[in-house]
Amino acid sequence: MSSLGAAGGKSAKASFVSYVTPEVSPCSRTVPTRTTGCTGSGTAAAGSRTSPGAGMFMFMFNPTKVPDLQPDRPETLDPGASTAAGPDPAGSRTGGVGVEVDLPPVKANEIKAEKDFGQTDKLPNLLPEVVLGEVVFCSASTVLKYTQDELSQRGVFGTLVCTNFRVAFVSVRAPGEEPEHLFKNKLYGENDIPLSCVDNIYGVYEDKRKLITGGIVKNKFPSKLVIHCKDLRVFQFSLTYSLEEDAKRIFQGISHHCLEPKSLRNVFAFSFCENHTFPEMKRQQRTMMFDSLDDWAQDIGRLKGACRLVAENAQFDLSPHLPQFFIVPTNVSDADLTPFQGNGLPMWCWSHHSGCALFKTSSLPVTLLQEDPVAQAYMEKMLNAVAQTYLFSVKTEDLSDTLPSVPDIQLAYNKFKHFFLIENTTDFWLSDVKWLSSLDSCGWLDIIRQCLQKAVEVVECLEKENANVLIMEEGGSDLCCVISSLAQLMLDPFYRTLPGFQSLIQKEWVAGGHRFLDRCNQLHLKDKENVSPVFLLFLECVWQLVRQYSPAFQFSETYLTVLSDSVHVPVYSTFLFNSQYHRYTFVQAESPQTPPSLLRCPVVWDWSVQFDCKAQEFFINPLYTEKTQRVSQRSQLHKHQRQLSLPGSKQSPKKGFFKEETDNLKKILRVKRLSRWMSPDPCSSSREFYQAWLRRPLDYHGLILPCLEGPWLHLWMQRYLRWVQEVQIFGGGLVTVLSQLNGLLEEVRGLRRELDLRGSTGPPTARLQRTRGSRVESQGWGSRVRLSSSFPFSALRRNSSYKPSIPSSLLHGLGPSGDGVQDLDDPESVV
């Protein structure tokens, strides 16, 4: 086995150094090597085999000289040395590939204006692809990146770099060794970690593992660095072979820029947007941003809601806690907008075609309601205003009493995610013994079930009982966003399209004031009381719906996975602020003469920032069922084919229906308005509602309800297990099934087009073969490609096989050892 390593950037690709290290242990500082080809002179230390799990290493060298890796003989390169490829452009003393900017670790408040960032001459040859606005803080060469084999005894040598955007590991591969990716991210690669994506950092000091929390001891650095990412990747780096000064600086730099608190102005997004121009998204099929009156008017006009649009808070004159534009019940006066800073004010979310509507609000403190008669009178008036929207009936629900709290969500997820942060094969197989029961005990899946159940209860009140619904919680921007969004997804097929889903998030989460900056801890604040994956919880619930009713959703599972990753990519304004007021004041402080709408950071829905058009095709669900003309021309209830209305309430009452009996109805329905739900057992009532819905014909463009019984809730395997090679199925898994179905669908469409044209020549078999060939060729996969179950997040494999390698230490405990055990542990048997 051999590997080719180039150094010195693109100009030195013709000159390479090839090394074979068949027997190496990372535990030793000496690296036995055999030189097979070299453009310059060099020496290598010899050693003996120390580990049976050793494998191939790839080492990057400067073409000038091969450094001596023995710890007592650190090699310093001559800055004036040269080769056929030219002089070393930086006079690097590290012996690593590329050039390092000789800067001390930079504090967050010392970062200069963005005009200093766009100079790419600060990054010559150090990073293969540079993001504009990126600057290197520190780097270290001869860093070993471990693989996830047994006890992590194999790895690749390269250069570890820390910039103001990412932590990057740069290795050099021969052209034939570079994996093929159809889903390449433009901003960062598979060995790059955006700074805001770093979750935890651990240091190994003399076989003792320690969590790094900042405030590090400057005179010490660990021999091994372990980084856990928020997208569940795990990176392990050995600093043993690097120069002591470089190892100390890269450790301190990564720890500082990934863990220390920073100001919002120092987030990479603002350096990035100063060097880019982002055109406005096309009006056709565009996402509604809900930052203008037109978007709100369009949405309520589409649903024919009987509410009024408020624009008096455009400059936040009413309250900083309210959105710039919002919709309230018609009977809410202008004087009712200002008391209690927007708390208790019902905000419109969605209107049912029968006339009832869904509202949400930030609840007033319980002590205030108990002690202040003014607060009591205000809440009673708001309930009356909601009730008068339709049939004088309203159901209220305080989500803080019936769903887990924000800290509980964070606690459950912290337990849950550790089952997927796999550092080596041994850890994976050890956790496999009680894996399912351990997942269930952490409570994360149960919280998903509770949220879906609560959303079904809301849908039942709107669809079956035709009652107005008011959900509330303290702040009104966490669980209210989850439940209202899920209810609208179940009820409204528009929000199940790609632009509709993105518009829903803009309306309920961004304009609704979800605290993305705090909940995602984008600034690495030490106080993590406000940190919680509430938005991820929503995406988990959406994935359950997509899995159960895939033809009802235009977007795919891959889209949801990428969206969950993009929360931690620090270039989007979507996830950088806690509210519209926060964004408005920040922009005003930065540039008082510039309107807030001209903040040039891209929104996450501009997917061209991360992916090209070919990669974005993976966002579309090939099984999505388009709404046909025949369905759209059916009865007046075309929006919800499975409507379950109360008897006698199929049509909205005429105007003035309650004129004579208003007072009597107020007294009769007052108890219903103040009660939480009609049924004392919401779960039992929801099951009956679900069973009644299930007996009707399924319409993917009507109402959909999730099944929440036992095994119907699944693990989101693509997101949580895509980096674990042991669970990947090459040539199998759901992606293979979808690929085959998509292929059949394309063939049917192709034959249908040929039948319409009636001009094709040749027998039907030839036409079918042309259809199949064009499909494979257009996707660029070739005829010898085997997809992995984690595709498109894994590289394509051509004519390759993978056999999960069970560690011999575990196999010996399961039975007698033999040749079969040795075959499983043989590195040659694992590709």
Specify the amino acid at residue 206. E
Pick the range with the lowest mean pLDDT from 180-184, 539-543, 603-607: 180-184
Tokens of 513: 């004031």
Residue 273 confidence (pLDDT): 85
Using alpha carbons, select from 80, 10, 1, 67 the residue that is nearest to residue 38: 67
Per residue in 641-685, pLDDT (tens digit) is 343 333 333 333 333 333 334 444 444 444 344 344 444 566 778
Residue 666 confidence (pLDDT): 42
Per residue in 535-554, pLDDT (tens digit) is 999 999 999 999 999 999 99
Residue 216 confidence (pLDDT): 58
> With bands split at pLDDT 50, 70 and 90, how would you rate the model's confidence at 61?
very low
State how far the alpha carbon of 657 is from the alpha carbons of 246, 642, 648, 662, 669, in Å.
80, 27, 14, 9, 16
Question: Which has the higher per-residue pLDDT, 348 or 111?
Answer: 348
Tokens of 483: 């439940």
Q: What CA–CA distance (Å, rounded) separates 369 from 349?
A: 25
Tokens of 373: 């008669």
Domains and CATH numbers, the chain: 3-274 (2.30.29.30), 293-692 (no CATH), 720-800 (no CATH)
Q: How far is CA 314 from the centre of its chain?
A: 31
Residues 204, 224: contact at Cβ < 8 Å? yes
Run of H or E residues at 86:
strand 86-87
Q: What CA–CA distance (Å, rounded) separates 586 from 589?
A: 5
Residue 648 confidence (pLDDT): 35
Q: What CA–CA distance (Å, rounded) separates 312 from 290?
A: 15
Tokens of 463: 């669809």
Residue 595 has pLDDT above 70, yes or no: no
Q: Is 651 exposed, middle or buried (0-12, 13-18, 19+ CB in 10 A)?
A: exposed
Pick the range with the lowest mean pLDDT from 150-164, 598-612, 620-634, 684-698: 620-634
Residue 139 has pLDDT above 80, yes or no: yes
As separate numbers, helices (DSSP H) first and strands (DSSP E) second, the chain gives 25, 21
> With bands split at pLDDT 50, 70 and 90, how would you rate the model's confidence at 312?
very high
SS3 339: helix
**Count of other CB atoms within 10 angstroms of residue 348:** 26
SS3 165: coil
Q: To the nearest 5 percent, what fractions of the chain are helix, strand and coil? A: 40, 15, 50
Residues 134, 168: contact at Cβ < 8 Å? no
Residue 734 has pLDDT above 80, yes or no: no
Tokens of 721: 């297990």
Angle at which helix 534-548 crosses helix 557-566, to 10 degrees, equals 170
Q: pTM for the full model?
A: 0.78
Using alpha carbons, select from 169, 235, 171 the residue that is nearest to residue 202: 235
State how far the alpha carbon of 321 is from the alpha carbons of 314, 318, 337, 479, 515, in Å.
12, 9, 11, 17, 12
> With bands split at pLDDT 50, 70 and 90, how would you rate the model's confidence at 482?
very high
Q: Is 529 exposed, middle or buried (0-12, 13-18, 19+ CB in 10 A)?
A: exposed
Residue 634 has pLDDT above 70, yes or no: no
User: CB within 8 A of 550, min separation 6: which ones?
Assistant: 621, 623, 624
What value, to the nearest 5°, has the Cα angle with vertex 646 and ends 638 and 696? 50
Residues 99, 126: contact at Cβ < 8 Å? yes
DSSP secondary-structure letter at 365? Answer: P
What strand order describes the sheet that includes 198-205? 192-194, 166-170, 155-163, 136-146, 234-238, 224-229, 198-205, 208-212
Residue 96 has pLDDT above 70, yes or no: no
Q: What CA–CA distance (Å, rounded) separates 352 from 191?
A: 48
Per residue in 673-685, pLDDT (tens digit) is 434 444 456 677 8
**Count of other CB atoms within 10 angstroms of residue 750:** 17
Using alpha carbons, select from 460, 467, 470 the residue that is nearest to residue 683: 460
Q: What is the mean pLDDT of residues 113-137?
A: 60
Q: What CA–CA distance (Å, rounded) separates 542 from 742?
A: 22
Q: What CA–CA distance (Å, rounded) separates 312 from 299?
A: 19
Beta partners for 227? 201, 235
Q: What is the mean pLDDT of residues 59-86?
A: 34
Residue 447 confidence (pLDDT): 97
